[in-house]
Chains A and B, each alone.
Chain A
Amino acid sequence: MNVPDPFAGERPKLSPFHPRLKALNVREAWSAWNGYKFAEYYYDAEYEYFCVRNRVATYDISPMQKYEIKGPDAEAMLNRMVTRDVRKIGLNRVGYTLWCTDEGRLIDDGTIFRLGADRFMLTCGSPCGAWLAKSAFGFDAVTISDWSDELAALAVQGPTSCAVLKRMGLDGVETARPFDIRHFDLRGSSLMVSRTGFTGDLGYELWVSPEHALNLWDALYEAGEPYGIQPYGEAATNMARLEAGFIMPAMEFNEALKTVHFEHDQTPFELSLDWLVDFRKPHFSGRSALLREQQAGPKYRLARLDIEGNRSAEGSHIYRNRRCTKQIGYVTSAMWSPAAKANIALAMIEPKFLNGEMWAEIYYEKELRHYSRVARCTSREKPFWTPARARATPAPDF
């Protein structure tokens, strides 16, 4: 008997990898991303984090938004939209970039893949089709297609990721430099591989059409079996990216187009992403506002904090004094870092206080009772996790 599902319209969509993910999500720990059912974790969040840091693990990034931008005006159009000089992204290279409103507030961050002279792929965490359409205004020779549902993607991250891809038959993949794109034939289907990722470690992202997604998965998991390959979810991703110092929407920044309150969104300078803003290139959205901000100085700076003690400073306010009477900022993300063995945080701090004393007022709970503790914070220049293998070419086997 075939009873129509009365909830069909509100159930999340399933990723092309779902049949495999479902079998491995032993804990049934699902959330959702861009309309897709999405794993918070599969077996154990901490275990998955350590697979990323110590072995190899995969992250289904199919729900990420992907757009193809092509045509003679494609480069100019993207260059008008984003803060980085797209002309400098070579063929088969990827560039991490930001795009802002005219007020210089961050809409989103993402990556631009140059697939040809006039052909690009833009990926980002949230849908931005409407903004792309707006940005294409005045550029006649450009076509924008939403590939989000047309392209499956899987991040393969961790120290043995390259070894596993080689074992899967991707000859020469170890010679790919960070942000390189390579094309391979995998059992009769075309596979695009970029040496990119969101973990700060050695890693790759694999792009394939949805009908070949399970073939890719099976080949990868067969090659990765002796390496203990394991899927990881959002929980482990969030740990890894925080150690690497990468920003996250709804954590470090509130997307400008979704922001209600004045300046509750952020600018690239506030997020300490100065290097991604190129004033030497032609005009781009937010340029004037960002120039003004650069001269006047941003109201906040995103800082990496090393905090004494071991209790996470999640949600803490940062003060300039131990008595916690003068607030100078707030924590955006925080955790105990198992790899760095440090109590780490990203925090927005008023720039003039960055070189002085900083104290976090940390609240925590112990068997239903609430406690607080004031802990000294030290600002750190470098990310907490920067293994040499992440940059090494040829990529090492572990």
Chain B
Amino acid sequence: MSVSSSPALDAIVIGAGHNGLTNAAYLAKAGLKVVVLEKNDYIGGAAVSRELHEGFTYSNCSYMCSMMRQAIHRDLNLSRHGLILVPYLGTVNSGDGDERLISYHDETAAYLELKRHSPHDADAMHRFQADLTRYSQLIRKTLLRTPPDPARLRPRDISELLFLAKQFWSMGEAQIYEYIRFFTMSAAEFLDDYFENDLIKAAMATPGIIGTALGVCSPGSAYVLLHHVMGDVDGNIGAWGLARGGMGAISNALAGAVREHGGEIRTQAGVRQVLVKNRRATGVVLDNGDQLSARIVVSNLDAKRTFTRIMDASDLPDGIREKADNFKIRGSSGKVNIALSALPKFTGVPDNPYVNRGGQAFSGSMETLERAYDCWKRGRWSDDPFVESVIPSAWDPTVAPPGQHWMSNFIQYCPPQLADGPWTAEKRDQFGQTVVNKIERYSPGFKDLILHMEVRTPHEIEQEIGLTEGNIFQGELTLDQLFFNRPFPGYGQYRMPVRNLYMCGSSTHPGGGVSATCGANAAREILLDLRRPNSVPEDDFFDE
């Protein structure tokens, strides 16, 4: 075994999730020799599509996309690498009983639908949308930028803080106060200021809990709500899209960009240990014992996994291990992917090809949502969970045989550890049944359509994807872990406590979601340190 003094590799990226691939693509594009190491025999991390039942391509984890930055898509020529993002029409929100709320794209249809539930709320929706758009626009400006460090105040931090201050002040005094309040509010409190109808509130509140170990009444859930509506598809803020071929198409297109620029991707190459010498990262040891050295090492794993699993505590400065141990990364969601012999029909939903092919959100009521969270707190999966269902095959002809479908179900809540002992295959299947029963309530006969099911609790998500506790955001999106505090205060600029070690996953700013921003931002910082010209684009929002 020998580690040469001038390593053949410039960079090792650990983990071929979409942010790792984005990071590698930018480093390779800048002329660096890059290798991406992936523990699984497939790439994509949580942006992955696999055929587990013949003819059906599930997007096993993430299933929709809205945050993927257009600037990166365009800059890395992802369309040429086969990526096409298709926006889908709105979602039907179902109440506990017969109430249905359909979100239409068309302004007239949307207004009439809201008015049917509450004339007051139909009017209030205009103010709600304007406020949310204003908040979104401010956050969106920070997505493809490195957060300033307010404690260090180097010239770059100061200019970045001034940039932010300017954006902030441009909202006007009243909105500045509102915005600050917004960051610490619960989704419920935020919505109470606009709406009176409970189903409308529940429908609007669900983005506030997705992927989050918070309830609709927990402080901080208002921001999570914003995080889910600030994305866009082709500039339509709040719209969501599906990747043709599944979410894996995003990772595959990014992998195409990595290879186009000469980067290498190795699968079945899990990293056991990051090598540190004289407080500098020098390379990695693989699970099979092979050793690779490189000028820099970039971890796309979450902060907890990076510092507690593949690094030696003695290689880390004081306090880092504790920060990693205390990093809030609680799993709260499950995923059930179902192959169906036909398109399911939902009671109370108009049987037209637009509405019955859209998303179905079984939101229930504010009360149901909060009670679902109560179960999680007690270490149980929700007995009446919030389920968001999408049928990608109703939009994408490539993921299921004609006439047959696959349905993605996202479930809130499901705990990473159960109060009554560890997860077992039996308990996992019981959880799956809870979900199926819930859907059956709204779609009688649904069970008869099932051809195959993949049930994923936080336990499976952690085992397969490597997300600690199965937290889909690589760390919770609460103010204490956002922006320059993400993952830890003082380490918000992608450089880690050991020299030549960087992080590029969703544990860094701006957080979870298939956005490619974390990977791109990290690449910008790395190129800066290596004194290479920056080739990472910034978002272009001149028309917002």
Show the binding face of A for B, using Cβ within 8 Å.
27, 43-44, 46-47, 50, 53-55, 159-160, 163, 167, 226-228, 230, 308-311, 336, 338-342, 364, 366, 371, 373, 398
Contacts and interface: CB of A to CB of B under 8 A. Distances in A.
Contacts of A227: 397, 402
A336 B87 CA distance: 15
B260 to A, nearest CB: 16
Nearest to B399: A398
A311 B402 contact: no
23 contacts: A44-B105, A47-B105, A47-B354, A50-B86, A53-B86, A54-B86, A54-B395, A54-B397, A55-B397, A163-B397, A167-B402, A226-B402, A227-B397, A228-B353, A309-B542, A310-B540, A311-B543, A336-B235, A338-B85, A341-B73, A341-B74, A342-B74, A398-B398
B70 interface: yes
A310 B397 contact: no
Given A47-B89, A54-B397, A226 B403 contact: yes
B84 interface: yes
Nearest to A224: B402
Interface in B344-402: 353-354, 357, 394-398, 402
Contact of B397 (A230, A341, A398): A398
A237 B269 CA distance: 47
B292 to A, nearest CB: 34
A50 B397 contact: no
B543 A310 contact: yes
Given A54-B84, A54-B396, A227-B397, A310 B357 contact: no
A380 to B, nearest CB: 12
Q: Which applies to chain B's interface (DSSP): helix, strand, loop or mixed? A: loop
A342 B78 CA distance: 11
Interface in B85-121: 85-87, 89, 105-106
A230 B353 contact: yes
Interface in B236-259: 244
Q: In the complex, which of the residues A54, A227, A230, A373 has the most CB atoms of chain B within 10 Å of its own CB atom? A: A54
B463 interface: no
B84 A160 contact: no
B542 A27 contact: no
A167 B87 CA distance: 27
B87 A310 contact: no
A339 B84 contact: yes
Contacts of A230: 353
Contacts of A341: 70, 73-74, 78-79
B290 interface: no
A338 B233 CA distance: 8
B247 to A, nearest CB: 15
A159 B106 contact: no
Interface residues of B, number: 30
Contact of A27 (B85, B106, B233): B106
B177 to A, nearest CB: 22
Interface of B: 70, 73-74, 78-79, 84-87, 89, 105-106, 233-235, 244, 353-354, 357, 394-398, 402-403, 540, 542-544
A163 B499 CA distance: 56
Contacts of A27: 106
B244 A373 contact: no
B73 to A, nearest CB: 5
Contacts of A47: 87, 89, 105, 354
A179 B496 CA distance: 60
A180 B409 CA distance: 45
Nearest to A338: B234
Contacts of B398: 398
Q: Which 6 residue pairs across A and B have the least CB separation, nearest first?
A: A226-B403, A311-B543, A226-B402, A398-B397, A341-B74, A338-B234
Nearest to A50: B86
Given A50-B86, A227-B402, A308 B540 contact: yes
Given A44-B105, A364-B543, 10 more contacts: A27-B106, A44-B106, A47-B354, A50-B86, A53-B86, A54-B86, A163-B402, A230-B353, A340-B79, A341-B73
A224 to B, nearest CB: 10
Contacts of A338: 85, 87, 233-234
Contacts of B74: 341-342
A117 to B, nearest CB: 40
B403 A46 contact: no
B244 A228 contact: no
A228 B70 contact: no
Contacts of B106: 27, 43-44
B422 to A, nearest CB: 43
A39 to B, nearest CB: 15
Contacts of B87: 46-47, 50, 338
A359 to B, nearest CB: 15
A53 B83 CA distance: 12
A339 B402 contact: no
B198 to A, nearest CB: 29
Nearest to A159: B397
A398 B333 CA distance: 34
A273 B540 CA distance: 34
Nearest to A384: B79
Contacts of A336: 234-235
Given A44-B106, A339-B79, A341-B70, A311 B542 contact: yes
Contacts of B354: 43-44, 47
Given A43-B354, A46-B87, A338-B234, A54 B542 contact: no
Q: In the complex, which of the residues A27, A226, A373, A398 has the most CB atoms of chain B within 10 Å of its own CB atom? A: A226
B55 to A, nearest CB: 12
Contacts of A340: 79
A336 B85 CA distance: 14
A43 B109 CA distance: 11
A160 B106 CA distance: 27
A54 B73 contact: no
Q: In the complex, which of the residues B357, B396, B540 has the most CB atoms of chain A within 10 Å of its own CB atom? A: B540
A375 to B, nearest CB: 9
A373 B543 CA distance: 9
A336 B233 CA distance: 11
A368 to B, nearest CB: 14
A310 B357 CA distance: 30
B89 to A, nearest CB: 6
B433 to A, nearest CB: 29
Nearest to B398: A398
Contacts of B235: 310, 336
Nearest to A306: B74
A53 B106 CA distance: 21
Nearest to B83: A341
A228 B397 CA distance: 9
Nearest to A27: B106
Q: In the complex, which of the residues A53, A167, A338 has the most CB atoms of chain B within 10 Å of its own CB atom? A: A338
Contacts of B544: 366
Contacts of B86: 50, 53-54
A339 B85 CA distance: 7
Contacts of B79: 339-342
A338 B87 CA distance: 10
Q: In the complex, which of the residues B397, B398, B542 has the most CB atoms of chain A within 10 Å of its own CB atom? A: B397
B243 to A, nearest CB: 11
B306 to A, nearest CB: 32
Contacts of B543: 309-311, 364, 366, 371
Nearest to A160: B397
A55 B339 CA distance: 20
A320 to B, nearest CB: 22
Nearest to A163: B402
A398 B235 CA distance: 27
Contacts of A160: 397
A373 B541 CA distance: 12
Contacts of A371: 543
Nearest to A398: B397
B268 to A, nearest CB: 31
Contacts of A54: 84, 86, 244, 395-397
Contacts of B402: 163, 167, 226-227
